[in-house]
Structure formats: C-alpha cells, structure tokens
Structure 1
Amino acid sequence: MLRHLATTMAAATVITLAAQSAAAYQVIAPPVASSGPQYDGNYSVAKLFDASVTDGDVGVTSYGNPDGQWAGFGEGPHEVFMDFGASISPSAIAYAQRSGDLADADKIGAVDFWFSDTDFAGIFPVDAPDTTATITNTTDTILHPYSLGGTFSGQYVAARFNAASPGLAINNPGGSEFRFLAVPEPSSVLLATLACTGFAYWGSRRR
C-alpha cells in the first residue's frame, strides 16, 4: 500500500512538473526600435509589437483586431531590424499571422534570424542565418510558439520573413504580433523528476 502510494505521488508530481514546464514560456519585452518594409503607413513593422502580450497569451490569444497588423509590400522576403536596448537570450518565438483577404496569401512560412551585440546599421547580413524558425500555422491569428532550435543572444536582431505561399498573384505577407520567448532550462525539471523517482524507489525498498 505504501509502495503504491509513494509511486502514485511521484508520478503525479512528475506530470505536474512536465505540465508546468510546457507552459512556462517567458515573453521577452518588445524591441525599443524596429524598422522594415511596409505595405503602407497603416501596416508598419511597429504593428508587430503594438499589443499587450503576457506569458499566458502564448498559444491562446488571437491578435490583429482591433490591434493592427504588419504587412510588407509584395511577396518579399521582407527584412526587419530590431534593437532591444540590451542583450536578450531567446530560445523560441511567438508569432501570430495576419488575417489578410485571401486564405493562401499574406502568411509567413519561415523566419531567418541573425543575432548581434553590434548594430547592423541598416546593412542586412549576407552570411547564413544563426537559426530559422518554421511557422507551421497559417490558418488563424493565434500567437503560436515556435522553437529556435537553441538559445541565441544579442541586443540587435535582423530577421528575414519568408512567404508561406510564394508565387501568388496577390501576396503581402506579414503578421499580427511577434515576441521572442525565453524557455526555462530542462535541467531543473529533470532533477525534480529524478528526486521524485528516487523517493518512489526508496519508499518501496524500505517497506
């Protein structure tokens, strides 16, 4: 009985920790300055950062109305510069597509990123990107999370936004909202899991 209780408690704790870890995206504050192409003055890059976003909005909240949308002019790719005022260290992004007037148009399919502690001074990098985020959702404007495949640091970010459906007659890709995300290291969860598992094991051994 005691062995079963100890094992059940350990399993429940592990499940709780896993759930907390999966939800523990930490939204990084938007850039203090940004620049890039725009369809017109109503669709400026600043519209990517104009809404209130909390950790709880990631994966849940839709954006773009009544807050604005950013749209580049034409298919692109569209190149954007961001200055965060101090170094950031994201491991993921949160991105909400723009709604657009056409189902297949106006969506982003991938974003290439370059990070630096030196200002790009308006000159877009010609070397390979530090990482690329693949944007898989093109059907709604929810602020979905996407991995960067690692942690990257820098005060300045250059980003190239690539159309999800190139070659369309009318296509002005953009987005409703964008944030970088910090993701807690899994080591603390792993240690807690091992501790719980050890408790279950020794609880069963001692009885």
Structure 2
Amino acid sequence: MRLAEPSEHSGVPTATTRYHLRERLLPAGHRITATRSAYDKEHLRRLRLVQALIQVGRMPVSAAREVLAAVEDDSLDQLARLGVAVEALPHGPEPDESSPSTAVARRTAAELLRRCARHFNSALADSSQAFGMLVAAIAALHHLGYACDTAPLLPHAQQAAQLAVVDLDLAEEFAIPAEQVAAAVALTVLYELVLLSLRRPAEAEESNKRYGSGS
C-alpha cells in the first residue's frame, strides 16, 4: 500500500506519518523504486501503536523511540526485552534526597517489597525508576501526614500484581514475541489510564454511599 493508505486506515494525517518515519518510530517502507516505497499491515499496526503511546499515553517521542527499539531488539530474550521496554517508559519525579521524608519512604518501600517479594522481587529493584517513583510518592504522603506505612499500601501492591497477570495474559494472545512485548507496553500505558478513569468515579460513588444519600 502507498504511504497515504496506513494514514487513512489509522486516521493519522499523512504528514504525521512522515514525521514518525523521520523520527524512526516507524520502520522504513519496502523500496519499490528510487522514489517510491510500499507499506504493509505491520506499518499500520505500528502506526496505531505509536499514536496510542504519544497521543493517549502522552509519551515523549524520544521515549517512544527507545521503547520501540527495545521491542525490536532480537538480541534480547523475551524477559529482557520487556524489562528494557517498560523501564524506558516515562516515570514520575525522582525522590528528593534532601527531604527527611525520603529516608522514611525508602524504609517503607523496602518493607513493602519484602512483604510482597513473591510479586515484586525482581521487577521492582531499588535501582529501578519505578522504585524511585514509589519512594517519591510515599515520601509525599509522609510529608503531608497521610497514612503511608505498609498497611494501606499492601492492598495497592496486591491489586497491581493481579493486574499484571491480566495484562500479560492479554499480551500473550499475540503469536509473535515482538508483538507480545509491544502489546504489554501498550497495555501498561493505556490500562493505567483505564485504572485512573475507573478509580475516580468509584471513589465518588463510595463517598456518596458514606456521606450522601446513597442513591
């Protein structure tokens, strides 16, 4: 198919598709002549993934390029490929090491991981960006005086572990390893938005039951 066709099928303007090609977010087309290339269903699938990461997941182009490079890295096994891809995803702010709350948060995060070692022992090492994001969040809770010991955090950790099973089960519905990694990354980014979108009205409903009419 011509370059315009993946754009038409995906709803992405041709100019945007050309930009993704220049930024190496899409693989080059199959060369037909010196001035023409052809594109296939793989380009269409990748174009949709790129748009989901950038437009819906608000991922910077540089981060999306790094994630997609990991997806395509055949030198890595499936576990390493997925680990590199997920680690390349945008994360929250780094912990403020000058804050006294950060030291407390590190101890709390370490204890939380110890109690949930079955789920997070290898995935949330203390050198990972995700661990830093966890520490920063707990430190903010501690600084504000909100509950931030392991008791209120445990249910969140347990639910996260269950959601990880669901995500990877869905990703494994794809036959090709690279597609599985791409799906796992997309699900990580997009299902976080689904979770946030569901949590807010759920808390509003629970508030209504507790403090409102309950209707």
TM range (shorter): under 0.3
**TM norm structure 1:** 0.25
Q: Which has the higher helix share?
A: 2
Q: Which has the higher strand share?
A: 1
